[in-house]
Amino acid sequence: MDLTGATWRTATRSGNTDCVEVADDLPDVVAVRDSKDRQGPVLAFTPQTWQVFIGHVKRR
């Protein structure tokens, strides 16, 4: 998976705490990683799957 050019961001509500980072500016993938281990593994989702996930989270 080529993550060149990914712009990683954390949730604005996370403050300065450790959190996950999301790169959703790539053409065919949304990447998620642990902010404490930026060189570690990355989870990859299709943009459609990511939107379904976010929709469920927002309803909670």
- pLDDT over threshold 90, residue 11: no
Helix (H, G, I), strand (E, B) or coil at 50: helix
Domain locations in the chain as residue ranges: 12-59
pLDDT of 23 reads 97
For range 2-25, the mean pLDDT: 86
At residue 60 the predicted structure's pLDDT band, cuts being 50, 70 and 90, is: confident
pLDDT of 29 reads 95
**Distance of CA 17 to CAs 5, 13, 60, Å?**
25, 9, 21
pTM of the model: 0.85
For range 18-28, the mean pLDDT: 91
Share of the chain above pLDDT 70, in %: 98
